């Protein structure tokens, strides 16, 4: 968290946070590269077995996570594109203002940002998100997903860990320093 006693405005960025922006860019590159491989080497909806619980299966997701609202008539493309764009801008500002001693929170934000932008690129350029990772067990199938979805999920888990476990320690540490 930025020091409230050192108010330099909304645009006070810390150069050390470029590492986190770099991680977001790496997530975007890996996501787009793997989607390109899936799109050029897989046939649509034709599973390619990899492991007894994993297939590569090219699918197009017109909705949100796990195809939520995929059959809603088209408005969802613009809604999710706008939402991802807005959240990405907010996350860039938040990420660039992180103090140097934090690791988990900026890592979480960087992963969520990279995943959101990776899927945003698909929505803007293709009108849908490319999914290709298909996990299943017997007749139970998890909805297909991609690297961006994985980055968002991991980032969200880290964000929850930071919120529910690490934030309390930061507050206690700050209070101890003020006493």
Q: Does residue 83 surpass a pLDDT of 90?
A: no
| pLDDT (0 to 100) of residue 77 | 64
Q: What is the pLDDT of residue 92?
A: 93
Q: pLDDT value at position 109?
A: 97
pLDDT digits (tens, 9 = 90+) for 7-24: 556 667 888 999 999 999
pLDDT digits (tens, 9 = 90+) for 85-112: 898 999 999 999 998 889 999 999 999 9
Tell me what pLDDT residue 173 has.
74
- pLDDT greater than 80 at residue 2: no
Catalytic residue among 122, 149, 162, 179: 149
Active site residue 179: no
Predicted TM-score of the model (pTM): 0.85
Of 31, 46, 122, 131, which residue is the catalytic one?
A: 131
- C-beta neighbour count of 144 within 10 angstroms: 24
Q: What is the mean pLDDT of the chain?
A: 87
Ramachandran angles phi, psi of 132, nearest 5°: -155, -10
Respond yes or no: is residue 149 known to be catalytic.
yes
Position 118 scores a pLDDT of 97
CA distance linking residue 34 with residue 40, whole number of Å? 10
Question: How many CA atoms are closer than 13 Å to the CA of 46, on its beta-carbon side?
Answer: 6
Q: What's residue 133's pLDDT? A: 98
- How far apart CA 92 and CA 20 sit, in angstroms, is 10
Per-residue pLDDT at 149: 95
Give the confidence band of 132 by pLDDT, cuts at 50, 70, 90: very high
Give pLDDT, residue 1: 47
């Amino acid at each position: 968290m930025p020091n409230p006693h050192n108010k330099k405005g909304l645009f006070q960025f810390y150069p050390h946070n470029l590492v986190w922006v770099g991680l977001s860019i790496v997530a975007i590159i890996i996501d787009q590269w793997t989607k390109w491989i899936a799109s050029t080497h897989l046939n649509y909806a034709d599973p390619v077995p990899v492991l007894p619980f994993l297939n590569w299966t090219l699918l197009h997701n017109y909705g949100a996570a796990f195809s939520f609202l995929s059959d809603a008539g088209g408005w969802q493309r613009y809604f999710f594109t706008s939402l991802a764009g807005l959240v990405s801008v907010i996350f860039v500002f938040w990420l660039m203002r992180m103090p140097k001693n934090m690791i988990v929170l900026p890592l979480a934000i960087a992963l969520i940002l990279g995943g959101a932008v990776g899927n945003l690129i698909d929505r803007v350029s293709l009108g849908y998100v490319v999914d290709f990772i298909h996990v299943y067990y017997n007749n139970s199938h998890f909805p297909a997903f991609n690297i961006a979805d994985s980055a968002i999920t991991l980032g969200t888990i880290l964000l929850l860990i930071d919120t529910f476990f690490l934030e309390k320690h930061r507050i206690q540490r700050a209070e101890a320093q003020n006493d």
